[in-house]
Amino acid sequence: MKVVAVVSPGGDILEWNLDTSNIHDTHFAWIVEDFNVKVLSDTGFHSKNGDPENLKICKRGEQNERMVVESVFSLLKRLLGLNQIQAKTRAGFELAISSIFALFNFLLEMNRRLGLAAKKPSIAHYFCL
């Protein structure tokens, strides 16, 4: 399955969708149309037929703000097991993804309320025993 997420500068997952792995990234371009701000993306989302007005395509090395997305998905994989999901149905997979994303957003908000917020998203201290 291919999962696409819109991530805020603070690391919150604002919107997400999934589809089968054989779907091209441009299939997900509609996900950014509802946002009133510029959404940064890699070149995989560029469409020959035109991109949404608020989608900014960035080449490798441009717009280092995109690194927040890399940090978020690294935490999701290492700490919350994003890559280890085993589901028998698509509904089961969607349930697992939505639960992981909800937990991630919850832990980020707890960081903010407890005064533990860092410059980049962090939830690792919840897993240190």
Q: Model-level pTM?
A: 0.85
pLDDT at 126 over 50: yes
And the tokens for 73?
A: 């998905």
For 45-59, write each residue's pLDDT tens digit.
Answer: 888 888 888 888 887
What ranges do the domains of the chain cover? 2-126
CA distances to 9, 17, 30, 72, 110 from 4, rounded to whole Å, are 16, 5, 11, 12, 24
Q: pLDDT per residue over 95-123, tens digit each?
A: 999 999 999 999 999 888 888 877 777 77
Q: Could you report the per-residue pLDDT of 18-69, keeping only the tens digit for each?
A: 999 898 888 888 888 888 888 888 877 888 888 888 888 887 777 777 788 8
Q: What is the pLDDT of residue 91?
A: 95
